[in-house]
Amino acid sequence: MSDVQPPSFVARLFLAWVAYFRTLFDGEFAAGVVRLREGAPALPPPEEPDEPPKKKKKPKKKKPAPVLKVAGPESALQLLGLLQREGRFVDFLREDLADASDEDIGAAARVVHEGCTKAIDEHFTIESIHDGEEGEVVTVDEGYDPKLIRLTGNVVGEPPYEGELTHRGWRVSEVRLPKMSEQHDPSVVAPAEVELT
C-alpha cells in the first residue's frame, strides 16, 4: 500500500469530473485507465538509454514533501447527495447506457447538467484561474505557481514560456454546504423511494 495520502475532496471531485470526460473523448487516456484497472503499473518501466548521458546537470535542490491533509468523507458524501438530489447525478452514472440512443443520453445529460449546475452554484463560488480565453496564446512568467498553472506539451528550458491556453482552470473561493444534524447519515446519498397505492 502506498504512503501517499489521498487528495482533498475538492481535488478528487475535480479529478473525477476531468477524468470522466477525458475517458470519453481521449482514446489513449481511456486505454491507460483500462490498463490500470487490469492491474498494470501506472507508468511503464523507464526505457534504458542507448548511450549514457554525456553531462550531468547540477542537481536541483529537493523541495520538502508537501504535508498532506486527510479529509473526512462527510463533505464528499454531502456533495454527492446534493448532486443526486438536484441533478440525479448518481442515477445517471449508475444507469446502463449500452442500449440507450444518443438522443436519450443527450436529453438525460441535459437534465443532469442543469441540476448539478444548480447544486454547484448554490453551494460553491467557483472562479476561473486564468483570465485568458481558451485557444489564446499566453505567456507564463518566471515565478508562476505550478499549483495554479500546469504546463503540458514540450516543456523545456526556463520561463517565460509561451503556449496555448487549453483550460482556464477552476478554483473554489467559497463553500456553503448546509450543516448536518447528528441524526443525518451522509452515506445515504438518495433514499429508496416506495410509492404507495
Of the listed ranges 24-38, 56-70, 165-179, the one predicted with least confidence: 56-70
E strands of 11-151, at which residues?
124-128, 137-140
pLDDT value of position 160: 94
Which three cell numbers, joined as nine digits, stand for 162? 509561451
pLDDT value of position 48: 66
pLDDT value of position 141: 94
The alpha carbon torsion through 173, 16, 86, 109 (nearest 10 deg) reads: 120
Q: Which helix (H) or strand (E) holds 81?
A: helix 74-87
pLDDT value of position 168: 95
AA letter at 131: D
pLDDT at 191 over 80: yes
pLDDT value of position 38: 80
Q: Are 156 and 129 in contact (CB under 8 A)?
A: no
What is residue 175's three-state secondary structure?
Answer: strand
Pairwise CA distance, residues 135 & 129, whole Å: 15
pLDDT tens-digit series, residues 120-164? 999 999 999 999 999 999 999 999 999 999 999 999 999 999 999
Calculate mean pLDDT across residues 53-75: 73
Pairwise CA distance, residues 23 & 157, whole Å: 31
pLDDT at 102 over 60: yes
For cell 486564468, name the residue.
130
DSSP-assigned letter for residue 139: E
pLDDT tens-digit series, residues 4-57? 677 777 777 777 777 777 777 777 877 777 777 787 776 666 666 666 666 666
Who wins on pLDDT, 30 or 88? 88
pLDDT value of position 111: 94
Reported confidence tier of residue 101, pLDDT bands at 50, 70, 90: very high
Instruction: Indicate whether this model's pTM tops 0.85.
Output: no
